[in-house]
Amino acid sequence: MKGLIGLKGLGRAELEAYLDLANRHRETIEARGATVPALAGVTVANLFFEPSTRTRLSFDLAAQRLGGRVITHHPESSSTLKGESLRDTALTVSAIGADVLVVRHSESGTPQSIAEWTGNIVLNAGDGTNEHPTQALTDLLTLRRRFGAVDGLQVGIVGHISHSRVANSLIYALSTMGARITLVGPRHWLPAASELTATTDFDEILAGLDVLYLLRVQTERGGTIDLDYVTRYQLGRERAARLGPESVVLHPGPLNRGVEIDDEVAESPRSLILEQVRNGVPTRMAVLERQVGASR
C-alpha cells in the first residue's frame, strides 16, 4: 500500500532513510539553502478531523517547502456538517485533485480505510489510539541529532501509555533502532501484556535514563487528571535534578503544564520540546518526498 500508515513492521534501513533525508532537509533549512521542488505539480490535502497545531502546520509548510500545493479541509465548516460520510468526503477530495491525503482522525484505522477507498498516497497524522508515525520519526531525528545514534539509549516513556498513538509509534521505532525502553505510569495506563520493562515507580528509574519521554494525559481518550497522578508522575525540579547531566526531556505536545511537566523543566536546557517541533517540518518533508518519489 502507498503511503505511511504506521511504523509497525518498518525495518531499520527504511527508518534510517527517512532520518537521513530529514536531517539533510533540516540542514538546508538552517542554512537557508534551496530545496529541490520534489513536490512540483503535487497537491497535498490536509484532512484533520481532530484538532492539531504542530502536525497540520508542519505538514503544510513541509509541502510548500518542497514546491507542492496545499489544500485544507475544515470539518467544522464543511459538508461533513450536512451529513456527508467520511468515505464520500475522502472520494471528493481525491476527485478534486489531491494526490496526497494527510489524515488525522479519532478512529483507529481511518487512514488505512481512506487509502483503500481512494488509492491515494495517505499519510497518517494520528489515528485514534493506533499510531502517529511522523511524530515518532520527528522524535528519532531529535534523539539522533542530540546523541549521534539511538542504539543503546535508555528511554523512559511516562504517563498515559494505554491510549497513546505517540507511544505506540515510538515504541516500534525505538525498538527497531536498538533503544532500551522502560514504560512508567499508573498500573491502569500500562499495557496489560508487553515484552518491555514496565513500572509504576517513576522515582526508581530516573537516574538510569538518557531520555525521559513524557506523554500528555489525553482527557479526550478517557484520561483523568488528579492530584495523585501529578504527585507521582509530574516531572518537576526535584525529579529532574536526579537525572544524569546529559539526560534530556521530550514531550510530543501539546503540554499540560502543571500536570506531566512543570514550567521550569519545560523551559530548562535539558528540554528538547521545541527542538522536536523544529524537526517536524524536515521530517514531514522527508516523508512526503519519499512517498511521492516512490509512487512516480
Does 135 participate in binding ligand CP (rule CB under 6 A)? yes
54 versus 278: smaller Cβ distance to ligand CP: 54
In the complex, what is the shortest distance from the CB of residue 126 to ligand CP, in angstroms, rounded to a whole number? 6
Does 52 participate in binding ligand CP (rule CB under 6 A)? yes
Report d(CA 10, CA 139) in Å as an integer. 16
Does 194 participate in binding ligand CP (rule CB under 6 A)? no
The window from 15-23, 70-78, 200-208, 251-259 that contacts ligand CP (CB under 6 A) reads 251-259
Report d(CA 172, CA 215) in Å as an integer. 16
Does 54 participate in binding ligand CP (rule CB under 6 A)? yes
Does 159 participate in binding ligand CP (rule CB under 6 A)? no
Does 254 participate in binding ligand CP (rule CB under 6 A)? yes
Does 278 participate in binding ligand CP (rule CB under 6 A)? no
Q: Segment 15-34, which members bind ligand CP (CB under 6 A)? A: none
The window from 17-25, 48-56, 75-83, 107-115 that contacts ligand CP (CB under 6 A) reads 48-56
Does 219 participate in binding ligand CP (rule CB under 6 A)? no
Phi-psi label, residue 214: left if phi above 0, alpha if psi -120 to 50, beta otherwise: beta
186 versus 253: smaller Cβ distance to ligand CP: 253
In the complex, what is the shortest distance from the CB of residue 208 to ligand CP, in angstroms, rounded to a whole number? 26
Does 283 participate in binding ligand CP (rule CB under 6 A)? no
130 versus 135: smaller Cβ distance to ligand CP: 135
In the complex, what is the shortest distance from the CB of residue 213 to ligand CP, in angstroms, rounded to a whole number? 12
Q: How many CB atoms lie within 10 A of CB 85?
A: 10
The window from 47-55, 195-203, 228-236, 263-271 that contacts ligand CP (CB under 6 A) reads 47-55
Does 53 participate in binding ligand CP (rule CB under 6 A)? yes
Q: Rule CB under 6 A: which residues touch ligand CP?
A: 52-55, 126, 135, 252-254
